[in-house]
DNA sequence: ACAGGAAGAGAACGTACGTTCTCCGTTCAC
DNA sequence: GTGAACGGAGAACGTACGTTCTCTTCCTGT
């Protein structure tokens, strides 16, 4: 299922003036924005077509169905979220600061006008019950985040129970910030994370 | 907007064999289950009508539109969630245990087969962008939870920063448990809450 | 008994949307 | 220059769904 994008991307060739993968990426980026802003089910193929500046024929030449676009958007979200988070984490120095950098990344994200909550939580809420693929992708994304935090926590020398605690804080900050419409939760979660990290490090 | 239910409820009268409010409550309870299990947009009025054993005419006699049913379901969810939480909290003794009882309530909830995440987070994700009423109701629900935790934290003598931290933990546990499909997050959040509570109480 | 009205079942209507098809203009190879 | 392939615009099709309408049945009050 997730290999479709790579298969098609490997068949890229010139079609006169634009690389096929660029059309795909423009469609996916546009769909990501629209789905984030209005919800997946609220955005029709015609609206996406207009916003992306692509003909319906090209849309369906690139993707066999709307659900395949949704899955491509989830891949896109996972990639940009993971890369953005890691970039912020890498800028921090000591292992303890790298754990806290997670919440700095959240703070910057929450302040963006386009922030409307975690796209995986949202897509899971909207489609998880009727689309096993969406539910499974959301689960994998969250699992990979858990593993990422666990790696950072391990590098800080923390016991195993710390990482799930910090991950839960991060998840809670995302939903709290989205629904409340403020970015306060990032700072509150960061302060809680400091307490949990210090307690875990001294207990070890 | 939120007073519609009360207005109609006050006009209750006998219609031969069943109180009108009982029909309303059956519709709302059925809608709550279906919306929770499959998502709001995935459940049509006909499916709701069949599941509730009510004619379409009666459905539209009780509610002017689907969106009014959604709002009634949100009121119903808020009431049962708040009452269930408070019942668990009241069973605990000391103020510190009452704060931790929040996570015991979550643990019991997560273990239910019907658990599919917080209904307010889900409805916000699904409809918040296109329905200001839904977004606002979700915000109010989360705000009331924040105030509830703040009251419990105040009774425990904790400083003001503790309550938002515990609320974020609770929110994160809900989404983590929903997407992961396990109930582990409740215990992990509870242990984190213990650390945060003790740190806040000794720092005070 | 009979007129009148309430209520159920489901047909009907309008709309939205995912997907496919058709038509027409453009381009490119020869 | 000409024909054939390609691509864009949007019409068309089938389906689903929210909402309303119609018909029939059954109960009620006198």
Whether B115 and B109 have beta carbons less than 8 Å apart is answered as: yes
- % of chain B exceeding 90 in pLDDT: 87
Higher pLDDT, B17 or A150: A150
Which residues partner with B14 through β-bridges? B19
Mean confidence (pLDDT) of chain B = 91
Phi-psi region of A90 (alpha: psi -120 to 50; beta: other; left: phi over 0): alpha
Q: Which of A116, A120, A130 is facing B129, going by the closest CB pair?
A: A116
Alpha-carbon distance of B135 to A121, in angstroms, equals 16
Q: DSSP string covering A42-103, please?
A: TS-HHHHHHHHT--HHHHHHH-SSHHHHHHHHHHHHHHHHHHHHHHHHHH--SHHHHHHHHH
Q: How far is A93 from chain B (nearest CA, A)?
A: 25
* pLDDT, tens digit (0-9, with 9 covering 90-100), for B189-200: 999 999 999 999
Q: What are the two backbone dihedrals, phi and then psi, of residue B121, each rounded to the nearest 5 degrees?
A: -60, -45
* pLDDT, tens digit (0-9, with 9 covering 90-100), for A2-13: 333 333 333 333
- % of chain A exceeding 70 in pLDDT: 90
Alpha-carbon distance of A193 to B192, in angstroms, equals 9
Q: Which residue in chain A is spatially nearest to B38 when comparing CA positions?
A: A129
Whether A148 and A85 have beta carbons less than 8 Å apart is answered as: yes
Alpha-carbon distance of A17 to B47, in angstroms, equals 50
Give A 20-49 residues with CB within 8 A of chain B. Answer: 37-39, 41-42
Q: Which residues contact A88 (CB under 8 A, 6 or more apart)?
A: A101, A102, A104, A105, A108
**Which positions in chain A touch B47 (Cβ < 8 Å)?**
none
**pLDDT at residue B93, as a whole number:** 87
Q: Which of A121, A161, A196 is facing B175, going by the closest CB pair?
A: A121
Alpha-carbon distance of A130 to A172, in angstroms, equals 24
Alpha-carbon distance of A78 to A140, in angstroms, equals 10
Whether B159 and B203 have beta carbons less than 8 Å apart is answered as: yes
Question: Which of B37, B132, B150, B172 to mutate against chain A (most A CBs within 10 Å)?
Answer: B172
**pLDDT at residue B22, as a whole number:** 85
Sign of CA dihedral A127, A131, A133, A138: positive
Mean confidence (pLDDT) of chain A = 91
Q: Which of A39, A167, A170 is facing B130, going by the closest CB pair?
A: A39
Q: DSSP string covering B17-79, please?
A: SSBHHHHHHHHHHHHHHHHHHH-STTS-HHHHHHHHT--HHHHHHH-SSHHHHHHHHHHHHHH
Whether A72 and A30 have beta carbons less than 8 Å apart is answered as: no
B81 to B106, B119, B182: CA distances (angstroms): 10, 10, 20
Does the pLDDT of residue A183 top 70, yes or no? yes
- Average pLDDT of span B104-112: 98
Every domain of chain A and the residues it spans: 4-203
Which residues partner with A14 through β-bridges? A19
Give B 66-95 residues with CB within 8 A of chain A. Answer: none
According to CATH, the topology of domain A4-203 is Tetracycline Repressor; domain 2 (1.10.357)
Which residues partner with A19 through β-bridges? A14
Q: Which residue in chain B is spatially nearest to A137 when comparing CA positions?
A: B179
Nearest to residue A102, comparing CAs of A192, A25, A1?
Answer: A192
How far is C-alpha B57 from the geometric centre of its chain's CA atoms?
A: 29
Band (pLDDT 50/70/90 cuts) for residue A22 is confident
Q: What is the largest CA-CA distance in chain B?
A: 64
- Average pLDDT of span B3-28: 54
CA to C1' distance (Å), from A90 to D20: 61
- Average pLDDT of span B84-98: 96
Band (pLDDT 50/70/90 cuts) for residue A41 is very high
Whether A129 and A182 have beta carbons less than 8 Å apart is answered as: no
**pLDDT at residue B155, as a whole number:** 97
* pLDDT, tens digit (0-9, with 9 covering 90-100), for A89-120: 999 989 999 999 999 999 999 999 999 999 99
- Average pLDDT of span A171-187: 98
How far is C-alpha A110 from the geometric centre of its chain's CA atoms?
A: 13
**pLDDT at residue B145, as a whole number:** 98
Whether A77 and A31 have beta carbons less than 8 Å apart is answered as: no
**pLDDT at residue B204, as a whole number:** 59
Using DSSP's 3-state secondary structure scheme, residue B14 falls into: strand
Nucleotides of D under 7 A from a protein CB: 6-11, 16-22, 27-28
Which residues partner with B19 through β-bridges? B14
């Amino acid at each position: 299922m997730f290999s479709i994008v790579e298969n098609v991307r490997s068949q890229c060739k010139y079609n006169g003036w634009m690389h096929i993968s660029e059309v795909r990426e423009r469609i996916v980026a546009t769909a990501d924005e629209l789905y984030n802003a209005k919800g997946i089910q609220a955005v029709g193929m015609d609206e996406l077509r207009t916003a992306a500046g692509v003909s319906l024929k090209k849309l369906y030449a690139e993707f066999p169905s709307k659900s395949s676009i949704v899955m491509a958007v989830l891949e896109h979200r996972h990639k940009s979220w993971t890369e953005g988070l890691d970039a912020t984490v890498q800028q921090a120095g000591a292992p303890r600061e790298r754990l806290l950098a997670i919440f700095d990344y959240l703070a910057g994200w929450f302040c963006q006008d386009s922030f409307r909550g975690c796209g995986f939580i949202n897509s899971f809420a909207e489609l998880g019950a009727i689309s096993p693929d969406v539910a499974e992708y959301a689960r994998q994304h969250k699992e990979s985040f858990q593993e990422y935090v666990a790696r950072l926590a391990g590098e800080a020398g923390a016991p195993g129970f710390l990482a799930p605690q910090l991950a839960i804080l991060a998840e809670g900050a995302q939903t709290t910030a989205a629904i409340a419409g403020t970015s306060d939760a990032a700072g509150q979660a960061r302060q809680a994370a400091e307490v949990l990290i210090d307690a875990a490090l001294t207990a070890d």
